[in-house]
Copies of this chain bind each other. A is one copy, B any other.
Amino acid sequence: MMQNAPAQAITRKSLHQELVDRLQPLIISGELTPGSKVPEKLLCTRFGVSRTPLREALKVLASDGLIRLEPNRGAWVTLVTISEVEEVFPVLGALEALSGELACKSITTDEINAVRRLHAQMIESYETRDLDSYFAINQKIHRAILLAARNDTLTTSCQALSLRMQRARYLANMTEGRWYAAVQEHENILKFLIDKDGRRLARTLLDHMESKRVSVVQWLEAQNEPSEPM
């Protein structure tokens, strides 16, 4: 007899949800230019849908802060401002700290080993200075810890804020010094996770986020200055 396995029920996703999932990457990748108008008509054509489900998706994305709706003027891709970064990173820090604490309580050996492997891969990317790969693996590590925390609400909240920050293409930043420091922080993250030292892991994740915040703000400031010379 077939087990009632936790395999996800075949939920035929609704069109608007599908669109939310498709639009998010377009926004965080920058394919939809930050600050520009969301090309409603074009997107309808591109995805072969009418305006109704697309506009439903835009409302949801707006509530996530990825776009901004101006009444009677349409939807605009939001851009990452310094003040937004100053706001979001502390919140993300608190949430990631919590995720670390919870993860230490329920992470399995297999999951720890998975993080260990990811960590090794990330170091490799660091050594070959492959920034794209580094960031991709980095994200996977944070996500693995998040999932080990076994708290869907936490996962969702973190994910949403994280998405907003990913719009900042701060990947480009990463000075050699900051990169080295980040790797050191990750060594500690791995260590405390293996030790299941929730307290220290939380603290490290918090500090890690704070460093990231500083780094991102610096980059954004550098971006702004040239265009405001007076």
Q: How many copies does the complex hold?
A: 2
A157 to B161, CA, bound (A): 9
Number of interface residues of A (CB under 8 A): 32
CB closest chain-B residue, reference A15: B71
> Is A88 on the interface with B (CB-CB < 8 A)?
yes
- Tell me if B16 and A84 are in contact (CB < 8 A): no
CB closest chain-B residue, reference A92: B153
> Is A14 on the interface with B (CB-CB < 8 A)?
yes
Q: How far is the CB of A157 from chain B (nearest CB, A)?
A: 6
> Which residues of A in the span 51-67 have a Cβ within 8 Å of any Cβ on B?
52, 55-57, 59-60, 63-64
> Is A102 on the interface with B (CB-CB < 8 A)?
yes
Contacts of A11 in B (CB 8 A): 71
- Tell me if A84 and B13 are in contact (CB < 8 A): no
Q: A52-B52, A88-B153 are in contact. List 4 more A-B contacts (CB 8 A).
A: A12-B72, A60-B60, A84-B153, A94-B98
Interface residues of A (CB under 8 A from B): 11-14, 16, 52, 55-57, 59-60, 63-64, 69, 71-72, 84, 87-88, 90-91, 94-95, 97-98, 102, 151-154, 157, 161
